[in-house]
A and B are shown apart, each in its own frame.
Chain A
Amino acid sequence: MSHSHVAGRLTAAGLLVTALVAAAPTASAAAPRDAEGAAYGLTVTGPLDVPPVPAVSSRSGDVTKHLLREDHTDLVDASALDVSAAADRARSAVARVAVPSAKLRADAVSAECRGGRGSASLARASLAGRSLDVSPPPNTTVPVDVPGLGRGSLTLNKQQRRADGRLDVTAMELRLPVPGDAATIRIASATCGRAAAPPKAPAPTPVKRDLPVTG
């Protein structure tokens, strides 16, 4: 599996959105003003950048998006993705996941974050023929051998605190040893919690410098 081949297939497939519906935010409940939920279905970083799709975020009421995929790629295949977010919660569910190069499959993968706490669940998930736990503990990591490329890793129920204090929960994070750089596939991710208020911006210090401006 070469870079260019995979890139070409990804580009050709283009992660086509066949159905995309966003609901208008509704009135918020009593969520903190600085709380924000966010979720996405799938993203790829590394030599092959695929932005998070579909992606939602909300500081108020529920926002949802649904993405139906019909096309397949060499790298990753997911047929249906549903994400939702509100100020205090987020959820992402992806169906019929397959990463053929890693022999990773799952009927369904989901991540949920609510009130700053996260969970993930897998349905009929397997790696190289071995079944994966339905409710894996946070940050469960298993090695992944990719024939001809080397060893990568699969982290299940990855939970990571952001710098702003919010929690990221990703049901599956697969690092593949693609030549030249690692490709990371993240499937079903949800973020929630109350972000710490940023500090006051500093007063500027004048810089001794001349710039011709339009007087």
Chain B
Amino acid sequence: MATRIVRDPRRAGRSAGGLVPAATAALLLLGGCGTTPAGTASGGTAPTGTATGGQTAPGAPAPARIPQATTFGTVSGAPRDASSDGATDGLVVHPERAVPVFDRPGGRPVATLPTEQLGAPTWVPVVESSGGWRRVLLPSRPNGSSGWIPGDGLRAAHTPYTVRVDLAHRRLTLFRSAKETGRWTVAIGGAKTPTPPGRTFLMATLAPAKRTPSPIVLPLGTHSATLDTFGGGPGTVALHGWPDASVFGKAVTHGCVRVPEDALRALSRVPLGSLVFITG
């Protein structure tokens, strides 16, 4: 059953009759939503164990008040991503072991970045460097969270890809080495559940148990700004396919970006950690 929490009570009142059926349909189409990880409520400390792909033994005690930086958690005190529209040199890093995340180089620990996100290796984009420290985008709430991690023990790689979602024109463009390789008309969030603007990244590539409405779902490191939870999940925004082509070009989703089949095929080959710019 689809459940959701709308941040704005006025919206909750208005939308009770209009959006829940649509949400239910969307969730059913998205493969019944599968297993809902524990601890999906927004706020508080992210669960250990299963929620992050098993890198922590189930049942192990959570680190005291230090949340895991996953799509399920909220990181308090994380520095905001100040350059939300800036490109980088494409550096992405994978922690080979869980690493502490600090609010500044050598500062206060605000989270732990695990080695996996949703069962896939954690790859996050580096948006700033200072000495041996790297500031990376985090996949947690609040949107735009970033944090500093020590450069030691990181596997570094370069991605030539960036994705731009133009909400005004309802268009997604894929770039490789700053050259456009594809452009598609897409569906974006509706007026009451808009797709959140900002700089984020491809967090995972999922193959749902049910291939309809989309055989591949690409969760991003950002969340709906109006839905605290959605279908038992944490309100994660994703790129995914949609079987009905009539939606493309419309603002009808609950925050996700629905893309045509050939766009999904191209996007599913883009390395994790690649930046996604969502602009209004």
Contact = CB atoms under 8 A, between A and B. Distances in A.
Interface of A: 38, 40, 43, 45, 49-52, 55, 57, 163-164, 191, 197-215
Contacts of B119: 207, 209
Nearest to A196: B156
B271 A204 contact: yes
Interface in B25-77: 26-27, 29-37, 71
Contact of A50 (B106, B205, B233): B106
Given A51-B106, A199-B158, 6 more contacts: A49-B106, A200-B159, A203-B269, A209-B34, A211-B206, A213-B237
Interface of A is mostly: loop
Given A49-B106, A201-B274, A206-B206, A212 B33 contact: yes
Contacts of B26: 215
Contacts of A43: 106
Contacts of A50: 106
B236 A214 contact: yes
A208 B227 CA distance: 25
A197 B158 contact: yes
A207 to B, nearest CB: 4
A57 B130 CA distance: 6
Contacts, number: 150
Closest 4 CB pairs of A and B: A210-B34, A51-B106, A212-B233, A215-B26
A137 B182 CA distance: 56
Interface of B: 23, 26-27, 29-37, 71, 90-92, 104-107, 118-120, 123, 129-132, 152, 156-160, 189, 193, 202, 204-209, 213, 216-217, 219, 224, 227, 230-233, 235-238, 240, 253-256, 268-274
A51 B36 contact: no
A213 B106 contact: no
Contacts of A207: 118-120, 204-207
Nearest to B274: A201
A172 B120 CA distance: 41
Given A43-B106, A51-B107, A206-B216, A211 B130 contact: no
13 contacts: A43-B106, A45-B106, A49-B106, A200-B157, A205-B120, A206-B216, A207-B207, A209-B118, A210-B35, A212-B34, A213-B233, A214-B255, A215-B23
Contact of A38 (B131, B207, B219): B131
A201 B273 CA distance: 9
B105 A214 contact: no
Given A204-B272, A208-B207, A213-B256, A198 B118 contact: no
Contacts of B189: 214
Contact of B254 (A197, A208, A211, A215): A215
B244 to A, nearest CB: 12
Contact of B208 (A164, A191, A210): A210
A38 to B, nearest CB: 5
Contact of A52 (B29, B31, B105, B129): B105
Contact of B253 (A49, A163, A209, A215): A215
Contacts of A198: 91, 156-158
A57 B131 contact: yes
Contacts of B105: 51-52, 55
A203 B120 CA distance: 12
A29 B92 CA distance: 28
